[in-house]
Chain A
Amino acid sequence: METPEPVVWSFDRLLAENLPAAVVWSTPSVRGRSESTLSYRHRTPLAGLDEDTRTLIVIGGGTLLDAAKIFRHEHAAKVTLIAIPSIWGSGAESSPIALATGPDGRKVIRMGPEYLPDVRVFWLELADSVPLRLARHACGDAWSHALEGFLSPLASEDLLSRGASVLSSMLDLPIGPDPRWFEASADACRLQSQSSVGLVHGIAHTLEGPLRAAQPEFGWGHAALCSTFLWPVLSLALGASERAGHRLRDAGIDPGRISEIARALFDPEAYDRALPFLVTHWRSVLRDPCTRTNGVVVRPSTLDYFQRRELRD
């Protein structure tokens, strides 16, 4: 299945363009840098657009990019959308998927060409300004996309071949800030958008709202949840059946190496904080569409696995 993709511009090309009636929405952490670099009107994100706006440049994480995609679709369909990620991981700048928050706080997936940015730009220097904790979570988000897409029961032979290449290139990257993550993350997102994600995302979509509400001081978000649950879910996949291990080995990927990376991303404190919520919301996790396309069958009794002591010590 061919997935539509945005036009790719370099950052130099963006600087060289003279975009008519352009407006910039940027996330607060990069606003100063954006204002001093891009000579377009800067406006408060999501607060509306000037009537004459023809191009919207959005610089931010996955949440802001997704919100801008939804805003453009609902309020400004004729405006050209240029997406610049301020951090890697979500792949929102390259995907026709937008996550909206439902009235109950759960994430709702919207998908369609109307949610695809017209242009995506990587501003590589922004990697320097990503704090280490957020960078680790972003790496966990990207690894979750790549691994769940690769291990998905919906992955085609062609996708497995490309997936092996994506995983191999990610193995060369550090867990931390590195501008190469922008491209790798987009590749990982493309992979999962052509197959599916799995239990890591089923958990993240279900628990993000409740955890944000209950533990606002901890900074829960989608990427933090992906990082927290990637290693337990991967261990489950490698232990529950031979399929995941075979698929990785057949692609020339050492499952042990992948496990080491997932383990390095694991935060026991975050896991302990999230576990009671997993227990409470387990039935919802089981019903989540992502969970139902996981690489191994997720059963009601799978919850016992997540409560094992060895995952918490």
Chain B
Amino acid sequence: MNNRDRLRELFIDVFLLDPAEFRFDLTRGEVDSWDSLGTVSLALGIEEVFGHHLTPAEATSLAGVADVIEVLSRRGVEFGDA
């Protein structure tokens, strides 16, 4: 499983998405369960799956899947080409 697959699986699990609902350009406003508690779960999941701790400011600034990829890429996590 590559990092894109790991991220996809994390989003589906944390936000209880139907797999067909996931897209790499999915934004926060499109996900009902991406509220403040969802942000907490997502940050925890990123730490568990990718080993990187997000600060509260980083976690709350995430506005979509693309932002997660950008934050983790800056820390050396490789996602390859879309």
Contact across chains for A153 and B16 when beta carbons are under 8 A apart? no
A288-304 near B? 1/0 per residue, CB < 8 Å: 01001101110111000
On whether the beta carbons of B16 and A297 are closer than 8 Å, the reply is no
Among residues 275 to 295 in chain A, which have CB atoms less than 8 Å away from a CB atom of chain B? 283, 286-287, 289, 292-293, 295
- Distance in angstroms from B8 CB to nearest chain A CB is 13
Choose from B10, B13, B45, B47 the contact partner of A300 (Cβ within 8 Å): B13
Size class of the contact patch on chain B: 10 to 19
A154 within 8 A of B: yes
Residues facing A in B1-31 (CB within 8 A) are 10, 13-14, 16
Is A241 located at the chain interface by the 8 A CB criterion?
yes
Which residue among A153, A292, A296, A297 has the maximum number of chain B CB atoms within 10 Å of its CB?
A297
Complexed CA–CA distance, A241 and B10 (Å): 15
In the assembled complex, the Cα of A287 lies from the Cα of B43 at a distance in Å of 17
Evaluate contact between A154 and B48: CB separation under 8 angstroms: no
**Chain B interfacial positions (CB closer than 8 Å to A):** 10, 13-14, 16, 33, 37-38, 40-41, 43-45, 47-48
Asked whether any CB of chain B lies closer than 8 Å to the CB of A243, the reply is yes
Q: Which of B37, B43, B47 has the most CB of A within 10 A?
A: B37
Q: Min CB distance, A156 to chain B, in Å?
A: 10
- The verdict on A299 contacting B13 (CB below 8 Å), with A289-B37, A292-B37, A293-B37 known, is yes
Binding site for B on A (CB under 8 A): 153-154, 240-241, 243, 283, 286-287, 289, 292-293, 295-297, 299-301
Q: Is the CB of A153 within 8 A of B44?
A: yes
- Does A287 contact B38, Cβ atoms closer than 8 Å? no
A297 to B40, CA, bound (A): 10
Hey, which chain B residues are within 8 Å of A292, CB to CB? 37-38, 40-41
Which residues of chain A have C-beta atoms less than 8 A from B47's C-beta? Answer: 241, 243
* B9, closest chain A residue (CB): A299
**Alpha-carbon distance between A153 and B48 when the two chains are bound, in angstroms:** 12
Question: Do B40 and A240 touch (CB < 8 A)?
Answer: no
Q: Are B48 and A296 in contact (CB under 8 A)?
A: yes
Verify A296–B16 contact, CB threshold 8 A. Answer: no
Residues in B whose Cβ lies below 8 Å from that of A295? 44
Contact assessment for A297 and B37 in the assembled complex, using a CB-CB cutoff below 8 Å: no
Q: What would be 6 A-B contacts, judged by CB atoms less than 8 Å apart? A: A153-B44, A241-B48, A287-B16, A289-B37, A292-B40, A301-B13
Contact B13 A296 (CB under 8 A): no
Q: How far is the CB of A127 from chain B (nearest CB, A)?
A: 36
B14 CB contacts on chain A under 8 angstroms: 297, 299
Q: Tell whether A293 pairs with B16 under 8 Å between CB atoms, given A240-B48, A241-B48.
A: no
Give the Cβ gap from B34 to chain A, nearest Cβ, in Å: 11
Contacts beyond the supplied A296-B48, A297-B13: 15 A-B pairs with Cβ under 8 Å: A153-B43, A153-B44, A154-B40, A240-B48, A241-B48, A283-B16, A289-B37, A292-B38, A292-B40, A292-B41, A295-B44, A296-B44, A297-B41, A297-B44, A297-B45
Min CB–CB distance A186 → chain B (angstroms) = 26
